[in-house]
Amino acid sequence: MLLPLRKKILSLTLSICLCLVGPTAWADYTLNMHRGVTEISRGIYQLHMIIFWICVVVGIIVFSAMFYAIIWHRKSRGVTAAHFHENTTVEIIWTIIPFLILVGMAIPATELLIKMHDTARDSEYSIKVTGHQWFWEYEYLGTGVRFTSLLSTPQDQIKNRDIKGQNYLLEVDNHLIVPIGKKIRFLTTANDVVHSWWVPRLGIKKDAIPGFINEAWAIIEEPGIYRGQCAELCGINHGFMPIVVEAKTEEEFNTWLEAKKASPTSHPANTGNTP
């Protein structure tokens, strides 16, 4: 019954392809990475999709060869095994072709990486991000504005005594307010153990290492609220120290910053009285 078998194979292949096409169409269902709101996050998304599709195509070719053998070279079909067991030419070909594909992948990856390391060229704002067990602290260098940002999801929701809110585990008391359209340097460090500051929509993840500062930059293109989480195991409440970045227009940001500078809760010096 060869024909029905061929149809089965065809439909199987088609359905696998559809499943794989799925992720792009389902970006809204949080199945795939988001494009994000910075040039870098978009570059990462595009690179991710290119590599993914190359892998899919290679996978289909390789698995097709294998499935072909599984179906057509079964002993139960009455075939006898061939005797070949080496071929230098073929070995060379299937070493060189993958190597060339890898070179092709490496080129856009290198270009994007160079852009991401472009921290030295001037920026307009420097924000220091300090990881603590178990919350983040933000300081706008040179302004004296400094505050902590703690998880604000109530324990009742975590302990299942209350219904969970929409931003369960991704909400904090004080957002990190930033302006759109301006180059911002995020300097990360930590107070105790290694943490990691990750905001997917900005395309930024940088480890926060005690005693050292790391640097990442972003120009945020759209106003909005962007949520992230700590991405390095740092103890008991590693899962409970989220990040919320709120990007505002430049005017709104300046208004906010001025108000914050003048407010009594801001600290002009790094004093021992603050957490």
Contacts of other proteins in 187-216 (CB under 8 A): 187, 189, 191-194, 196, 198, 200, 203-207, 209-215
Out of 2, 107, 114, 262, the residue judged to bind other proteins by CB under 8 A: 114
E strand or H helix that includes residue 52: helix 39-72
Does 107 help bind other proteins (rule: CB under 8 A)? Answer: no
In this complex, which beta carbon is closest to other proteins, that of residue 11 or of residue 68? 68
- Report d(CA 226, CA 76) in Å as an integer: 58
Does 113 help bind other proteins (rule: CB under 8 A)? Answer: yes
CB under 8 A: which stretch of 9-17, 116-124, 172-180, 246-254 binds other proteins? 116-124
The secondary structure of residue 269, as a DSSP letter, is: S
Does 275 help bind other proteins (rule: CB under 8 A)? Answer: yes
Out of 83, 89, 262, 264, the residue judged to bind other proteins by CB under 8 A: 83
The residues, any chain, with a CB within 8 Å of residue 181's CB and separated by 6 or more, are 219, 220, 221, 250
Distance of CA 93 to the CA centre of its chain: 35
Does 82 help bind other proteins (rule: CB under 8 A)? Answer: yes
Residues in 131-170 at the binding interface with other proteins, rule: CB under 8 A: 132, 139, 141-142, 144, 157-160, 164, 166-170
In this complex, which beta carbon is closest to other proteins, that of residue 154 or of residue 252? 154
Q: Are 130 and 208 in contact (CB under 8 A)?
A: yes
Out of 3, 66, 107, 262, the residue judged to bind other proteins by CB under 8 A: 66
Does 38 help bind other proteins (rule: CB under 8 A)? Answer: no
Does 23 help bind other proteins (rule: CB under 8 A)? Answer: yes
- Report d(CA 27, CA 18) in Å as an integer: 15
The secondary structure of residue 35, as a DSSP letter, is: -
Q: Are 136 and 243 in contact (CB under 8 A)?
A: yes
Residues near other proteins (CB under 8 A), total: 116
The residues, any chain, with a CB within 8 Å of residue 97's CB and separated by 6 or more, are none
Residues β-bridged to residue 210? 190
